[in-house]
Structure 1
């Protein structure tokens, strides 16, 4: 059975909007992002046949054939495999991301005091890059030069979406410093949130809830009728999204092997 969750469907829609090449095959999808070869989940394979997800040998080989220079493995799966041992033999971890959806935009809460909230523009984007690079450095997730290259290419593609009117990125600033941000992309009637993040010292202030509402209202004004957000299953922010009206739908399952130099989690969505 071929299947594609709402999470994967919106992932692919955003990738295509940002210039990735999405090739539909009989039982899988191949994704390439020539403009950002360091983007692991922009250079990946998605198994769409539920009956084929246990065949780790086949899919690891298919990924390595498609991406011979990659030092990672990134394979999306239509469901969690019943037998995980095959993936384990390849050093691949099976991960689950929650997919949350709503039929109404999040309620627009009042902005917390002491912050300026605005659409990202100009040098704000350089602060966006700097925050991403700093988070990676603090967590020692990926080799720093490669991660900064990835972050800059990804943010360049996001800026291009904004310039075309297909996305909006908003941030909250304290004394001129970007401390929280998120984006939203119109995927043709479905709005997909992107890169939701708040600096640790500014969490619990209501910033995330406010930004969700600001971006959601933008999508509603464009005629969107569904709002989608994807987050790690262990992310405490999931509680914030549920309070905002999002409910869980079919999750995303990922088979991922980090590069040898990496010591953290997968590239952020």
Structure 2
């Protein structure tokens, strides 16, 4: 099975650093045994959207390949937003994720360029501690039904450790926009074979609507084209979230629409 989607290909590019990827004739298995609570580190990519009756079949394949985890994640290699027979999954308690994949080969400054922040790469344990604190504050600010539950802090610590290993291996870097020494926005960028992929574009709730994320995105994209030698940059956003408009403000354009189905133990 060879992937058509650039979004999924860059996802596997990132996962290839420490996850196990197994290609089967009609699906791909992604395993991250060292971080079993990482839903998008333990999931299945199918060739096509679900057909009627696939709910139990897909769940059984997941159990056979990944064991008994506290979640299911299924996605498929269609780039036009096709949902297939997703309703059967939704009625069983799954939720639908619709993602827009945006790409660019050049960037321009956002309309609101914040000139009061310092944009720089992380270089200390203190930077990463601020990142963890910001992520937990963001999660706590979400509506109860959208919040990550118990174990989220452990998951974040696993992810931070992985990102730091990727940085040490020369794959990319993690950046922050700092205001008065406080981390106000952050994101990562990693690249391989001319493809750069952004990770976790976040803004502290106390610093929103100040142009920080767009300013940092413009800064980091230049690093990607320059130091990382990327020819194409890829970034993903929730179809129904304003972040996609932030990305277009510096030159990204939508190229794919992906769909996934998720379920997690409450």
State the TM-score, normalized to the length of structure 2.
0.89
CA contact (8 A) 2:103 2:233 kept: yes
CA 1:116–1:51 in structure 2 vs 1: closer, same or farther (change >3 Å)?
closer
Q: What is the Cα deviation at residue 50 of structure 1? A: 2.1
1:56 aligns with 2:55: yes
1:149-175 CA distance string (max 9 Å, x none):
100001111111111221111101122
CA contact (8 A) 2:94 2:261 kept: yes
CA contact (8 A) 2:3 2:9 kept: no
1:186 maps to which residue?
Answer: 191
Aligned residue pairs total: 256
Q: 1:107-256 residue pairs with structure 2 within 5 A?
A: 107-108=108-109, 112-122=114-124, 123-139=126-142, 140=144, 141-144=147-150, 146-221=151-226, 222-256=228-262
CA contact (8 A) 2:49 2:76 kept: no
The DSSP-based 3-state class of the residue aligned with 1:124 is helix
Q: What is the Cα deviation at residue 51 of structure 1? A: 6.5
1:80-104 CA distance string (max 9 Å, x none):
3332233234322222111101122
1:24 maps to which residue?
Answer: 23
In structure 1, C-alpha distance between the alignment counterparts of 2:197 and 2:245, rounded to whole Å: 18
CA RMSD in angstroms comes to 2.0
Flag structure 2 segments of 5+ consecutive residues without an equivalent: none
Q: What is the Cα deviation at residue 53 of structure 1? A: 5.3
CA contact (8 A) 1:189 1:224 kept: yes
CA contact (8 A) 1:53 1:78 kept: no
| Greater alpha carbon shift after TM alignment, 215-224 vs 185-194 | 215-224
1:266 maps to which residue?
Answer: none
Question: Runs of at least 4 residues of structure 1 off by over 4 A?
Answer: 51-54, 108-111
1:36 maps to which residue?
Answer: 35
Q: What is the Cα deviation at residue 3 of structure 1? A: 4.3
Q: What is the Cα deviation at residue 22 of structure 1? A: 0.6
CA contact (8 A) 2:99 2:239 kept: yes
CA contact (8 A) 1:38 1:149 kept: no
CA contact (8 A) 1:72 1:258 kept: yes
Flag structure 1 segments of 5+ consecutive residues without an equivalent: 261-269
